[in-house]
Amino acid sequence: MSTPAPVALVTGSARRIGATIARMLHAAGYDLALHYRTPGAELDALLAELEQARPGSTLTLQADLNDLAGTTALVPATLARFGRIDALVNNASSFYPTPLGEIGEAQFDDLVATNARAPLFLAQAAAPALRAAKGVIINLVDIYAERPIPRYLPYCMAKAALVALTHGLARELGPEVRVNAIAPGNILWSTNPEKAETLAMVEERTALKRPGEPGDIASAVLYLLRDARYVTGQVLRVDGGRWLHI
């Protein structure tokens, strides 16, 4: 009898870094529960690609992470399909400027909900299955969680909370479940015009003098899931040395 494939629930998996993480985990043998907020051509292409490679290996799940009931429903839906959860990758994130003096309640609630509240309640819902599987949680944080940048205070606060959640969950869920975080640097050019950076700026501010690639983050996810068996409660910076220049 064949051993069942490990199962990963990945939030925000339809595009950008999330889609790259999904592709790498799938190639490594994981079945995937792919969360998305809004359907589109990128999600359709990803699903077709993965299903062609290994039919029956994916499940797509729609949820707005501001909706707590819809968010926590991702876990039982994944268990109903695959019967297990070996990894939870909290990748989904909201990111936009909120200048001090103009911060509104709705913006604050959205940034905290997607970047901190959803990962907490997903981890809580998935904890029994992760304990049974001796699984792993990985949270995508930010190098600015410890040193906030101007005009993004609620976002940085929420990512700082996610770092604290990483540390707390590592204690709460050990020894069965390992919990770590990844803090990306300049990986993809921002779609936010207020955060636009030129290649020259990245080269000046990064020790490796170049931006990273989504595959750098996906490789770090796979390392923490599969190889880092004595690592928990850590934040791995994948930033080319950007941290050194903040």
Cite the active site residues: 155
Eight-state DSSP code of residue 148: P
d(CA 141, CA 195): 17
Q: What residues contact 116, with CB distance under 8 A and at least 6 apart?
A: 158, 159, 161, 162, 165
CA 104 to each of CA 33, 97, 108, 110, 210: distance values in angstroms, whole numbers, following the listed order: 33, 11, 6, 10, 35
Q: Is 22 helix (H, G, I), strand (E, B) or coil?
A: helix
**Is there a contact between 221 and 21 (Cβ–Cβ < 8 Å)?**
yes
